Amino acid sequence: MKKEGIHKGQTCPLCGNIYFEAPAVSRTDGKTSICPDCGTREALENIGVPKEEQDKILEIIHQHINR
């Protein structure tokens, strides 16, 4: 039986952080696996959200995920 939601640690090629969640796919090439945070950042950048606001959004996401 396959276990869902368990991922081997991977290193994000964009930020260098190790992550264990399911990867996001980079919007740059449509095939590179990146960490969920970088995936969120790419999506937010795509709609013009500045880096400072991205940081705040990711902080809120982390507060709710790590409960």
Sign, CA torsion 8/11/17/21 = negative
36 phi, psi to nearest 5 deg: -55, -35
pLDDT in tens, the chain (67 residues): 445 556 689 999 999 999 999 999 999 999 999 999 999 999 999 999 999 999 999 999 999 986 6
Residue 61: Cβ within 10 Å count: 13
Residue 35, class by beta-carbon neighbours within 10 Å (0-12 exposed, 13-18 middle, 19+ buried)? buried
